[in-house]
Amino acid sequence: MSKINENFNKLQSGYLFATTAKKVGAFSAANPDKKVIKMSIGDATQPLAPAVIAAIKKAADEMGTLEGFRGYGPDFGYDFLREVIAENDFKARGVDISADEIFISDSAKCDTGNIQELFSTDLTIAVLDPVYPTYVDTNVMAGRTGDYNPARGNFDGIIYMPASAENGFKPALPKEVPGLIYLCYPNNPTGTTLSKSELSTWVDYAKKNGSLILFDAAYEAYISHADIPHSIYEIEGAKDVAIEFRSFSKTAGFTGTRCAFTVIPKGLTAKDASGNDVSLHGLWGRRMSTKFNGVPYIIQRAAEACYSPEGKVQLKQTIDYYMNNAKILREGLTAAGISCYGGVDAPYIWIKTPGDFGSWDFFDYLLANTAVAGTPGVGFGNAGEGYLRLTAFNTTENTLEAVARIQKLKF
Ligand code: MLT
């Protein structure tokens, strides 16, 4: 008789973005005459950069020749890509990360979801609330949490760190010390950021208490202010306490192309049951070679092209395009009397639902009355109740239209 992993039974409803997409799909089917503007999942809409397309074509041509054909690639990614990443994303910012500390993968979602496999199921995790749901759900699946607590509306055995307008979206350091701390900055879903000195307090906390920070920097390319760190390794001492996740999805429109990377410094360790220090770089490497067959050569060449002089200019143009949408949303909704957060150093706008609307009620109301789809804040956690997330990833035409439709509403 086969038996399931009972931890899956603890999960609540569907995965947030799948649930939202289902509701939007049902609305579209029932209202075929209405043009739905999707500002729910953060999916790219703008074409890949010409430099990226040229690299894909060239690599595809190479693969069609006897000399240029490649089979399995190196387990942790091609050196040509790991080297340009180390050079441009880290060394250029004065951060000492070497190419062999970079693991190429297909997704920051997969890596942030899978990294917990390296750690004991006894560890307590701390997450921001609201939070990107993958961090919580993967720990639930692994049995690292208690049951869902219906009275509280979240899981026992997780330290939730609320972030809302009341604390300026800057959660307090946890009183109970967690083994693992998930941080995402620029933040998904609130679009807010931490300055270097604010992030330093987390690094100091982790050092002092023996915690490990899992730092998701998938949105770093959207930072416009100089005092916001792009990498946690810009903070002194972070190499001893942090793993960082990056992605080409939002940086280069690779949501359908798939390439990302995870940085694990070679000196970073965690204890085994006998108290010995074990290299996390070694463990992740072991996991990758066992469970992952790598990102296609053609796609790694595409990612490499993001760092060419013309690639950098082209990517920046697309990021500016999305950030102009963010500005349109922020300014247009503020003019309609809606409080907005984020959207300055991140492509997400976190809006306070007007009046007494709860998150799901406002999601339904907006969809029914404007055919604009967002993501209900409470879907990211209790502290997200009373908020709704909109993304800046649509076209400018649709963004302007969404704002005009919302401005016509009376609350
Ligand atoms: C989001 O909308 O939060 C993201 O697109 C989800 C993801 O990157 O997996």
SS (H, E, C) 146-172: CCEECCCCEECCEEEEECCHHHCCCCC
d(CA 408, CA 401): 11
Query: pLDDT value at position 329?
Result: 98
- Residues 219-235, mean pLDDT to the nearest whole number: 97
pLDDT, residue 260, reads 98
Q: Are residues 167 and 303 in the same domain?
A: yes
Asked if residue 276 belongs to a domain, the reply is: yes
> Does the residue 144 lie in any domain?
yes
Q: Are residue 42 and residue 191 in the same domain, yes or no?
A: no
- Residue 334 located in a structural domain: yes
The whole-model pTM stands at 0.97
Pocket mutation for ligand 1, best pick of 19, 105, 107, 132 (most atoms within 8 Å of C-beta)? 132
Residues in Cβ contact with 53 at an 8 Å cutoff, skipping those fewer than 6 apart: none
Tell me: do 339 and 202 sit in the same domain: no
Residue 382 is part of a domain; what is its CATH number? Answer: 3.90.1150.10
Ligand 1 within 6 A of 239 CB? no
Residue 121 identity (one-letter amino acid): T
Statement to judge: residues 284 and 394 lie in one domain: no
**What domain range is 288 assigned to?**
53-308
Q: Is 130 in the pocket of ligand 1 (CB under 6 A)?
A: no
Nearest CA to ligand 1 atom 4: 42
399 lines ligand 1 (CB under 6 A): no
Among 20, 41, 393, which is best to mutate for testing ligand 1, by the most ligand atoms less than 8 A from CB? 41
Please tell me the predicted confidence (pLDDT) of residue 297: 98
Same domain, 303 and 334: no
Does 111 lie in the same domain as 236? Answer: yes
Residues 6 or more apart whose CB falls under 8 angstroms from that of 237 comprise: 203, 204, 207
**Ligand 1 centroid – CA 42 distance (Å):** 5
DSSP-derived 3-state class of residue 102: strand
216 part of a folded domain = yes
Closest atom of ligand 1 to CA, residue 41: 2
Question: What pLDDT, on a 0 to 100 scale, did the predictor assign at position 56?
Answer: 98
Q: Is the CB–ligand 1 distance for residue 311 below 6 Å?
A: no
Percent over 90 (pLDDT), the chain: 98
Measure Cα distances from 68 to 71, 77, 166 in Å. 10, 17, 57
Residue 231 binned pLDDT confidence (cut-offs 50, 70, 90): very high
Q: Which residues contact 382 (CB under 8 A, 6 or more apart)?
A: 129, 152, 153, 154, 160, 162
pLDDT tens readout for residues 233-292: 999 999 999 999 999 999 999 999 999 999 999 999 999 999 999 999 999 999 999 999
**Confidence band for 63, pLDDT divided at 50, 70 and 90:** very high
Report the side by side order of strands in the sheet with 212-216: 102-105, 260-263, 242-247, 212-216, 180-184, 125-129, 158-162
What's the mean pLDDT when you consider all of the chain?
Answer: 97
Residue 47 has pLDDT above 80, yes or no: yes
pLDDT at 136 (0 to 100): 97
Q: How far does the centroid of ligand 1 lie from the alpha carbon of residue 164, in Å?
A: 20
* Same domain assignment for residues 134 and 190: yes
Q: Ligand 1: distance of its center to the CA of 276 in Å?
A: 37
pLDDT in tens, 64-73: 999 999 999 9
With a 6 Å cutoff on the Cβ, whether 190 touches ligand 1 is no
- From the CA of 249, give the closest atom in ligand 1: 8
145 assigned to some structural domain: yes
Instruction: Tell me what pLDDT residue 358 has.
Output: 97
Identify whether 107 is part of a domain: yes
Q: Rounded to 5 degrees, what angle do the CA atoms 143, 148, 149 make?
A: 140
- C-alpha 75 – ligand 1 centre gap (Å): 26
37 and 58 share a domain?
no
Domain boundary among 308, 334, 361: 308
Last residue of one domain, picked from the residues 255, 280, 308 = 308
- Domain with residue 156: its CATH number is 3.40.640.10
Q: Do 204 and 254 reside in the same domain of the chain?
A: yes
Report the pLDDT averaged over residues 4-21: 91
Could you say which DSSP state residue 89 is in? I
Torsion (CA) 104, 106, 109, 111 in degrees, nearest 10: -40
pLDDT of residue 57: 98
Q: Is the pLDDT of residue 393 over 90?
A: yes
Q: Give the pLDDT score at 406.
A: 97
Handedness of CA 143, 145, 147, 150 (dihedral sign): negative
CA 133 to chain CA centroid, Å, is: 10
Determine if ligand 1 sits within 6 Å of the CB of residue 253: no
Q: How far apart are CA 23 and CA 397, in angstroms?
A: 24
Same domain, 10 and 78: no
Contact call for residues 391 and 348 (beta carbons, < 8 A): yes
Same domain, 290 and 381: no
Structural domains counted in the chain: 2
Distance from Cα 90 to the centre of ligand 1, integer Å: 24
Question: What is the rounded distance in angstroms from the CA atom of residue 381 to the CA atom of residue 153?
Answer: 8
CA nearest neighbour of 293 among 113, 101, 80, 76: 76
Residue 15 has pLDDT above 90, yes or no: no
In a domain, 1, yes or no: no
pLDDT in tens, 113-157: 999 999 999 999 999 999 999 999 999 999 999 999 999 999 999
Please indicate, yes or no, if residue 74 is contained in any of the structural domains. Answer: yes
Last residue of a domain, one of 261, 281, 308: 308
Do 226 and 366 belong to one domain? no
- Please tell me if the CB atom of residue 188 comes closer than 6 angstroms to any atom of ligand 1: yes
Q: What residues contact 410, with CB distance under 8 A and at least 6 apart?
A: none
As a whole number of angstroms, the distance between CA 45 and CA 318 comes to 10
250 lines ligand 1 (CB under 6 A): no
What Rg do the C-alpha atoms of the chain give, in angstroms?
21
Contact 298, 291 (CB under 8 A): no
The upper half-sphere exposure of residue 16, i.e. CA atoms within 13 Å in the direction of its Cβ, equals 25
Grade residue 101 by pLDDT with cuts at 50, 70 and 90. Answer: very high
Task: Give the pLDDT band of residue 13 (cuts 50, 70, 90).
Answer: confident
411 has a pLDDT exceeding 80: no
325 in ligand 1 pocket by Cβ < 6 Å? no
Give the model's pLDDT for residue 154: 95
257 lines ligand 1 (CB under 6 A): no
Distance from the first to the final alpha carbon of the chain: 56
